[in-house]
Amino acid sequence: MKKLKGRNCVITGAASGIGRALAHGLAREGMNLLLADIDIQGLATVKKELEGAETTVHTARCDVSKYEDILALAEESRIQLGVLDMLVNNAGVASAGFIEELDHEAWEYALSVNAWSIIHTVRAFLPHMIERGRGHIVNVGSGAGIVGIPYHAPYIASKFTVVGISEALYSELKHKYPGIEVSVICPTFLKTNILQRTRIAIPRGLLTEEDRQKALERMEEFKTIFWEKYTKGTPDVDAVVAKYIRGIKKNKLYIFDTPLLRVAMLIKAVCEPLYKAVLRREGKKNLRMIEESLIEMGIGISKNTLRAKRFS
């Protein structure tokens, strides 16, 4: 969508991180906003931050994993904004842990928020865009929707779904309704609050049962230390989101914040042995960060670590 000024937009997951930065950036562009999240306190803070912007800002509580909430959000959008020009599906959560130890809840958590939210919103909002013959659907996927990195398989599954649905929407809608644009933003590593709502299963084989219990009891500390390592040296969220908005204005299908993802796509397409090596390297790197975080907490790694078993 080339011109944003005066246009209307719904953003989910707008109380924090990328959603909050998008709300600021799109308000600066002159868009009227309906911000949705489960975190109503966070929404109120963002709304307050946006006071003085020359646009209208509404908020609504919405659990994007629930279809009835999304239907209510579509109704709220009709009441507050009238016509809808842009929908940003940004709300997201993660589940992490070794794949063999993740339970159904971990899978359902990531898939119900990240993947089903897109399905719900497509059903609830797309008819309105089709009726008008225009609009822009912006889905926030992830680099984890391009490369199957280790230790958060439910998240990977959900984000590959987001990328897949985005391509399907593009190919189908562009053919039938050329006025409707589709973009998928694929962030890599940004220091947001995503780890707060991430469900983590500390692997059984990595620690003695006693140490594993200790780690579970000190999960918040683990998350803080791990996230510091994971996002060390990552760029400022607002600057990266400004890049995403430039991508939206250019009607890009894929919006990346690093050329590395395009390189990964290319390697995947043309050189499988190299791509496999990249995946294996990610496995080692992530496990090392988990181990280092536990060691920093003073929680011992058992001699017979999975790293030793798997990668020696």
CB neighbourhood size of 133 (10 A): 10
With CA atoms as reference, report the closest residue to 118 among 95, 141, 93, 142: 141
When the beta carbons of 190 and 297 are compared against ligand NAD, the nearer one is: 190
Shortest Cβ 149–ligand NAD spacing (Å) = 11
Identity of the amino acid at 78: R
67 versus 177: smaller Cβ distance to ligand NAD: 67
How far apart are alpha carbons 57 and 53 in whole angstroms?
Answer: 9
DSSP secondary structure code for residue 114 in this structure: I
User: What is the closest distance, in whole angstroms, from the C-beta atom of residue 144 to ligand NAD in the complex?
Assistant: 6
Q: Residue 187's Cα: distance from chain center in Å?
A: 7
Binding site for ligand NAD (CB under 6 A): 12-13, 15-19, 37-39, 42, 62-65, 90-93, 113, 140, 142, 187, 189-190, 192-194, 197
Angle at 155 between CA 137 and CA 113, to 5 degrees: 55
Q: How far is the CB of 23 from ligand NAD (least distance, A)?
A: 11
The CB-of-311 to ligand NAD minimum distance in angstroms stands at 25
Would you say 142 or 183 has its CB closer to ligand NAD? 142
The Cα 139–Cα 162 span in angstroms is 7
- Provide the minimum distance between the beta carbon of 169 and ligand NAD in the complex, in angstroms, as a whole number: 17
What the block records as the tokens of 288 is: 């090392």
Query: Which C-beta is closer to ligand NAD: that of 194 or that of 200?
Result: 194
Per-residue CA distances from 238 to 130, 140, 223 (Å): 32, 15, 23
The Cα–Cα gap between 136 and 155 comes to: 25
Q: Rounded to an integer, what distance in angstroms lies between the CA atom of residue 254 and that of residue 244?
A: 10
The nearer residue to ligand NAD, 159 or 214, going by C-beta atoms, is 159
Burial class (CB in 10 A: 0-12, 13-18, 19+), 2: exposed
- DSSP secondary structure string for all residues of 170-188: HHHHHHH-TTEEEEEEE--
- Name which of 160 and 211 has its Cβ closer to ligand NAD: 160
Q: How far is the CB of 162 from ligand NAD (least distance, A)?
A: 8
Count of CB atoms within 10 A of residue 18's CB? 25
* Catalytic machinery residues: 155
